[in-house]
Amino acid sequence: MRLFTGLDLPGDLVANLEELLRRLKPAARIHWSPPANLHITTKFIGEWPPERLGELKGALGALPGRTAIPVRIRRVGFFPNPHAPRIFWCGIEAPGLPELARDTDSATAALGIAAEKRAFSPHLTLARITQAQGKERVGLQALHQAIAALPSLEIGGFPAGSFFLYQSTLRPSGSVYTKLAEFPLTKS
């Protein structure tokens, strides 16, 4: 099983992101993410044995309680940079989310999952930009112009009261994400 943890997006924000993608897609021939797949990853787990799923759920369910995390989605950018981009993203501002990611990383490391080496950088992956070997670079000038023409880069916000354990199934048509468990942030 290929697994990760993350935050789900409410329907109104998915609709806002669909509108953003509708405006930007014609500007670049890159690998756009389906809006239904958009989520905020807090920990990529990778391959995990199904017989240990209960153990993983138990560790995630034992994370310390916290208040709901206020999430704002705004601005766009490129990883690693605009000059040699591989990922086109939408930014996330969420006080408390780095702590959730850190706690998730610690809990999963105790189960033998590799700890994160890079700093946590919350984002939504809007598209992947691949350069075919020996081919001309993907032109992104029209995308930059389409971004500049947008009336706003404020997508919206929501209070995240839970995080989820997802399974990622790779198919020829792309990845399919299935929620396996929900973990409320506030403990009763």
Identify the pLDDT of residue 65: 93
Measure the CA–CA gap between 128 and 161, rounded to whole angstroms.
29
State residue 134's pLDDT score. Answer: 45
Q: Position of tokens 């605009």? A: 82
- Torsion sign across C-alpha atoms 48, 39, 101, 181: negative
H-helix or E-strand containing 5? strand 2-7
For the chain, domains (ranges, CATH) are 2-184 (3.90.1140.10)
Structure token digits, residue 70 = 């206020």
Q: Are 117 and 74 in contact (CB under 8 A)?
A: no
pLDDT one-digit tens code per residue, 170-182: 888 778 899 999 9
Q: Are 4 and 43 in contact (CB under 8 A)?
A: yes
Mean predicted lDDT score pLDDT of the chain: 92
| pLDDT over 90 percentage in the chain | 82
Does the pLDDT of residue 133 top 70, yes or no? no
Collect all residues with Cβ–Cβ distance below 8 Å to 82 and sequence separation of at least 6. Answer: 140, 144
Reported pTM: 0.89
Helix boundaries (H) for 37-177: 53-61, 97-109, 141-148
Please state the rounded mean pLDDT for residues 67-85.
92
Question: 25 in helix, strand or coil?
Answer: helix
Supply the pLDDT for residue 146: 95
Kindly tell me if the per-residue pLDDT of 139 is higher than 90. Answer: no
Three-state DSSP state, 116:
coil
Question: For position 84, what pLDDT does the model report?
Answer: 82
Distance CA 148, CA 104 (A): 37
